[in-house]
Structure formats: structure tokens, C-alpha cells
Amino acid sequence: MTRPGDIELYGCKGCGSAAIEALLEWSGASYAMHHVEPWKGGAAAEALARINPLAQVPTMRLADGSVLTETAAMIVLIDELYPDARVLPAREDPARAQALRWIAFLAGNMYPAISVGDFPERWIEGDEPRNALKQGALERLRQYWSVLERALQPAPYLVGRDMTALDVYAAMFSHWGPGRKWIDPNCPKIAAALALTEQHPVVAGVWKRNF
């Protein structure tokens, strides 16, 4: 059985591991951080690939030796391991369903668009088509942020009065394209919740290391 305090996290500066770092620290978890930039290759990337064939970060190794990938799954596990931290709303709270919905939205829509925009060479040949693909991915990201702006009514956080993993997750995404220079004027309700989240001392500390 997985025991709190026996977690290894594989990640890198400014990567998707930032949200998981913040949630582990918020939860009071004891964890070991392995810094690896998979796209650079080398021994660290090879070690990561041995436990995660996609060699992606974040990746977590748990106390029982099992491996967990996919940030959304990690968020749920952290909530289960450290229930007192309340990184997600309580099970009886209707806000929990909404937090999970929008965490899945970010993972299922924004992450793929970011991957396409960052690494168009994985998908298509030629400079001109790649540039067009990057631009298309950026436009999709703007649309996704606009969906959040229309759907959510922060009060003051994204799904209510308390900060949740959704706020931390979304705040991380906001540091990637199209970035806060676009989000702040075009999605002011969301931007206000993100700014409040980033004032949290744990988030601020982790963000200082990453962004």
C-alpha cells in the first residue's frame, strides 16, 4: 500500500510538474524530486523512460514501487493520501464535481494543444506547415481560456471560496501560451482567481523555483 511520505517526483523547472510540487508541499508530503528534461536526452531521461515509456514529466513513483503518470490522476491521489489538506473539495461538496470537471478539461484540451504548439515537428513536416500548426494550437488555447471565463464564476477562487487543486493547476497553465499578457485582459474573472492563487505562500514559493 502506498504510504504518504514515500513519493518520488520526476519533473523539471517550468514544466507540468510545478503544480504537483505545489500540491505535495501544500499537503505536507515528504517527497524526493528528480530533475529531468526529457527532450534533452541523457542518463536522466533514460532513467525516466525506464519507468514511463513516454518519458514525460511529471511522473511519480509511489512507496510500493508503482508508477503514476497523468497529472489529473496525481491530483486525485494526493487528495486521497492527504485528505486533511483538502486539495479538492470534500466528497459531499458540489464544488468537487466541478473541480474535477475542469481539471479534466485542462488535461484533455489544453495539454494537447500545448504539446502540439511546443513540438510541431512531432506531427508535421516542413517549416511553413509547422508554423501554421503552432498558430492554430495557440488559437485553440485562447478559445479554451475563453470557455473557462464564460463557464466559471470565481468566488473568489475558480469553484468557490477555497483554493483547490484546480486553481493551482490552472495557474500553472497560465504561464504557458498564450500567457498572462493575453489572459489578464481577455479573461479578467479567471485572471483574478489565478492572481489570488499565486499569493498563497506555498504556491508562491514553488512558482519562484519554476517560473
Domain hosting residue 36, numbered range = 7-85
pLDDT for the residue numbered 200: 98
DSSP string, 85-134: G-SS--TTSHHHHHHHHHHHHIIIIIHHHHHHHH-GGGT--SHHHHHHHH
**Can you tell me the mean pLDDT for 149-158?**
98
Cell numbers describing residue 176: 504557458
User: In this structure, how many other beta carbons lie within 10 angstroms of the beta carbon of residue 153?
Assistant: 10
Q: Are residues 102 and 124 in the same domain?
A: yes
Q: Are residues 66 and 105 in the same domain?
A: no
Q: Are residues 102 and 79 in the same domain?
A: no
- The candidate with the shortest Cα–Cα distance to 22, out of 164, 148, 155, 156, is 164
Q: Is the pLDDT of residue 3 over 60?
A: no
Domain C-terminal end among 59, 85, 111: 85
CATH of the domain at 13: 3.40.30.10
Instruction: Output the average pLDDT for the chain.
Output: 95
In this prediction, residue 5 has a pLDDT band, given cuts at 50, 70 and 90, of low
Q: Are residues 167 and 102 in the same domain?
A: yes
Q: Are residues 98 and 195 in the same domain?
A: yes
Q: Are residues 104 and 135 in the same domain?
A: yes
pTM of the model: 0.95
Q: Are residues 23 and 100 in the same domain?
A: no
User: How many domains is the chain partitioned into structurally?
Assistant: 2
| 91-101 burial code (b ≥16 CB/10 A, e <16) | eebebbebbbe
Q: Are residues 195 and 105 in the same domain?
A: yes
Domain C-terminal end among 85, 103, 118: 85
Q: Residues 68, 77: contact at Cβ < 8 Å?
A: yes
User: Which pLDDT tens digit goes with each residue over 11-46?
Assistant: 999 999 999 999 999 999 999 999 999 989 899 999
CATH of the domain at 121: 1.20.1050.10
Domain C-terminal end among 85, 103, 123: 85
- Encoded amino acid at 180, one letter: R
Q: Quote the distance between the C-alpha of residue 179 and its chain's center.
A: 14
Reduce the DSSP state of residue 187 to 3 states and report it. coil
